[in-house]
Amino acid sequence: MVDDSLAKLVGTRSEYISPSLSLLAPNDRPQTLCVFCPLSRWYKRTHWECFCSEFKSLMFDGSPLIGPVYACDAREIEVVRLNAEQEKE
């Protein structure tokens, strides 16, 4: 699945993309909704991993045990909040 289709899985559009992952070509980014979440904290040791600042948990590490996220209420709520802040400016 390409990351554009991941972004379409949820109703709230956002231009946000992880600053670390934005340096990668779209096809090289991890295939999880967390790429587009302002609450995600990405880092790389031997492979890309994502820590969620809302759930206080590792949400993606590329392994089959922690599969990709396809929908997330925390992301939706944060994107709505950020969009409302931007409208005020």
The model's pLDDT over 19-48, given as tens digits with 9 standing for 90+, comes to 999 999 999 999 999 999 999 999 999 999
Q: What is the pTM of this model?
A: 0.82
Length of the chain in residues, anyone?
A: 89
Tell me the per-residue pLDDT of 45-71, one tens digit each, with 9 for 90 and over.
999 999 999 999 999 999 989 989 999
pLDDT for 32: 92
Which position has the token pair 């005020």? Answer: 88
Compute CA distances 87 → 4, 17, 81, 82, whole Å: 24, 19, 10, 9
Find the domain containing 24 and state its range: 3-88
- Nearest Cα residue to 81 out of 3, 4, 16: 16
**For the chain, how many structural domains are there in total?**
1
Please check the confidence at residue 15 and state whether its pLDDT lies above 50. Answer: yes
